[in-house]
Structure formats: structure tokens, C-alpha cells
Structure 1
């Protein structure tokens, strides 16, 4: 049970401060890392394709594939162990001034490791996820924007061969705030600071079928530098995230420290 939660404790609490970017009605957002369980450091890399779905720029989609690696609890080599593979597709709709909703489907494959040295791989678990979110953005002067988001998730878990996992499914609520500052119009450079709190309840298969109490699980704090790559349809985001997991050993060391990089290919609207 402990080893299972080390892997799937992708949750934490706190309402955060949110910072994101809405430019010309388009989605401008980094692909934030998921929680990867107990570790000292982690690496998250993603490649996404963002499409404009209408001529007004109010509807977009973002599809991405991503990989995560992490260290063991006894060292800081952030590429030591495979941590996760993610496939994600999300559709956004800016339906009113400063307001947006989105919905998404996601598949994740994540190995779990023994809780004691030498931390060998124990098993692999699969997750299928659907979620929706609502966001409201405040413009704070010429260069600042504050975006507050509520996201509700349903997460279903399986073993590698599609048998029941220890955790059957989970309902999770995420509350996030992100503050974005426009550094320069050249290459559309921006700096973003965010905080996100995660709350959840799970229905367990083992050791007995029951619900866990709904409560705070994680807090994630992140800083991102975002820019357009000159003379190309690509944007790049480079960031740092600190994942503070309630009850984990990593929280005694200040959380799990992530280096995150994502590359997004922007495609215009075509009939």
C-alpha cells in the first residue's frame, strides 16, 4: 500500500496563485509536470502540437507526448529511473471575455519502485484520466495577468495487464493560480509563477474496498520562462517545479525538484 501511494500520490493541497497567458485569444501555456512520487529530483520533457480550431482564435486544441525520469530517494541523478509516459489531448474554448473552459483525455503509464534500497522496479501501473477545467483571467495593467483555474479529474487505474490495481479510481480537485509577466515583445518572452493545490478522495480495491477521506495531498510551485523560437512555428517553455507531497520523505528535503522543458508546434486554423 505504501509503495502504491509513493507512485500515485500525484496530489496536494493549497489554492495557489496562478499565472498564465492569454494572447490574441490563443492558448499560451506550459505543459506542467505531473507528480512522480517520492524522489529528490526529476526531469520532465514534452512535445506538443497546438492547433487553432476556428478563424476567431477562440477554440484550440493541444496534444502532447511526454516523458518523465527521476532520481532514487538516496541520490540526485534526475535521469536515473524511468518515471512516466504521458499521452494527452485537450480542447480549449474561450467562450467569454477573460473566461475559458477545456476538457481532456489522458493516458499515463508509470512504474513503481521498492521503498528501500536498491529501489528496484516493482511493477507498472496504467492510468486513464478525463478532466475538465474552468479558468478566469484578470489583466493587471499592461504587462501582468493573473489566471485562476479549477480543474476536476476522474482517474482510473489498472495494472500493466489491465487487472485491478490497489487503487480503483480517484476523484481529484486542483486549484491553481498563475501570474504572468510580459518580459519583452521580442520573441514574446514571458515569465510565469504558479502555485497549485491538489485535493482528492480514492476508492480502494486493497486492502479492502473503501473510500479514503477527501483531503489535501500536494502543493506544486513552479516558475517558467516562455518564448517563441525566432522564424519558426515553435514555442519553448523552460521551468522549475517544486512538488511538496504530504507525508512523503521528500518533503523533509524541500520537496521533489523538477527541471521541465517543453516544445510546442503551433498550427494555424485551416478549413
Structure 2
């Protein structure tokens, strides 16, 4: 399940995410994935998902397979994101927020007939800075993510497949003035991907859709993402 799923890009009607990565098997039990990605958003008053640049992501993750069902991973990530004012009209008024992230993930997967089912628990530590590395409100955050997904091959060679997933995110933040807040539910993300991975060519192509539901109750905002990525498999 190699999709480079889009990050959350805040309150926007639509968004576009593209990424390119390299996946490398290091030995029998260990592997690595490196990727960079770019995100664009429409904002609240537009529907064009390419209306304004939103984020740059650079990510490095290492995986270790414990047995045929269990796997853990750990990663480092850098993200540089634009933050726009409410009018979203004066492009020069945006600000830059930088994020450094470390996370660990434990996953369980099993074959259910033709389907492959995987569930992962991911714990993140996120540190935010302004463009000049000044401190920002809620500058330190702990976030927990629980995700489940199903993969279904469309042919006997498993070159074509579809994947559906659902993920819930919870977070607690440390404000520089008021200290730690309370753990809160933040959002849910639902993805549907088509993947093409030809057996005679070491590249995987992914095309997907994500629906991001931010908040809960009467305070939900909804965003639709178009996503595409390319992963080069074992080039070394």
C-alpha cells in the first residue's frame, strides 16, 4: 500500500496534491521510503484546486517487518506551509509556517481472501515555527492517528488495484502562554485510490480522491482533494 496520501491542508473547498517518491528494500526485513510533495488549495471562495500554493513536504520513513502480519516504522518530516488571510484575495498577505515532525507507527495487516486489510496506529510529535524560526502559538503538538484500509487487486497479476481507507486524528497542543490543553478529536479523512504497478517496470502510479472532514457536530468543514503520486521501486 504505497500511496503517498495528501496531508491536511486546512479549511478549503478543494485541493490538489502531487508527490514523487523512492521506495527501497534494504534487506529481508527493512525498507525505506523517501518522497517530496506539493499541495495547492482553492480557499473558501474558489473551487479551483490549483488556485494557490499551500505546502511543500519532504519525508523520510524507515520500515521494519516483525513477521508476516506486524510492521513498525519511524520517520522524519519537514513541511513548509502557506497561511492565508480570510479574504484569500491578497496573495502577498500570506504567512509561512514551518513544521518539523517525527513519528512512529505500528501496523497489522492480513489477507482476507482477495482483500488485504491493514490497520495502523501512528503517534506524532510536531513542532511549529514561523518563517524566521520564531515561536508560534500552539507550537508543540502531540497527535495520534488511527487508520484502517482495504486493498483489492483488479487482476490476477496484481498490477491494477484499488484501495479505500478511513482515518481519525486526535491531538493535544502546548501553548507557549497557557500550557497544555486537553486531547481533542480533530478530523477524519476518507480516501479512495486506484494504483497501477506494472510487473515489468519498477514504478507505481497512484490516482486518488480524499474527503477531509474537519471538526465535529455543527462545526464541520468539508474539503475534496485530488491526489496523484509516482513511486520508483528499488532503484538501487
Q: Are residues 112 and 248 of structure 1, via their aligned partners in 2, closer, same or farther at CA, if it must alter by over 3 Å?
A: farther
What secondary structure is seen at the aligned counterpart in 2 of 1:130?
Answer: strand
Q: CA separation in 2, counterparts of 1:39 and 1:108?
A: 18
CA shift, 1:249, in A, is 9.9
Long gaps (5+) in structure 1: 1-27
1:119–1:40 distance in 2 versus 1, CA, 3 Å: farther
> RCO greater where, 1 or 2, for CA within 8 Å and sep 6 or more?
1
Could you give the per-residue CA deviations for residues 10-33 of structure 1, whole angstroms, max 9, x where no partner exists?
A: xxxxxxxxxxxxxxxxxx320110
TM-score (norm 2): 0.94
Provide Cα deviations, 1:173-200, integer angstroms capped at 9, x if missing partner.
Answer: 0000001111113462111110000000
Deviates more, 1:112-121 or 1:185-194: 112-121
Indicate how the Cα distance of structure 1 residues 264 and 213 shifts in structure 2: closer, same or farther if over 3 A, else same: same
Shift of 1:84: 0.2
- The alpha carbon displacement at 1:209 in A equals 3.0
Q: Which residue of 1 aligns with 2:192?
A: 223
Equivalent residues in 2 for 1:105-144, closer than 5 Å: 105-118=76-89, 120=91, 121-141=93-113, 143-144=114-115
Q: Are 1:51 and 2:18 counterparts?
A: no
Residue 37 of structure 1: SS of its match in structure 2? coil
| Residue 259 in structure 1 maps to residue 226 in structure 2 | yes
CA contact (8 A) 2:160 2:197 kept: yes
Say whether the 8 Å CA contact 1:250–1:256 is kept in structure 2: no
RMSD after superposition: 1.9
Q: How does 1:128-207 map to 2 (within 5 A)?
A: 128-141=100-113, 143-186=114-157, 188-205=159-176
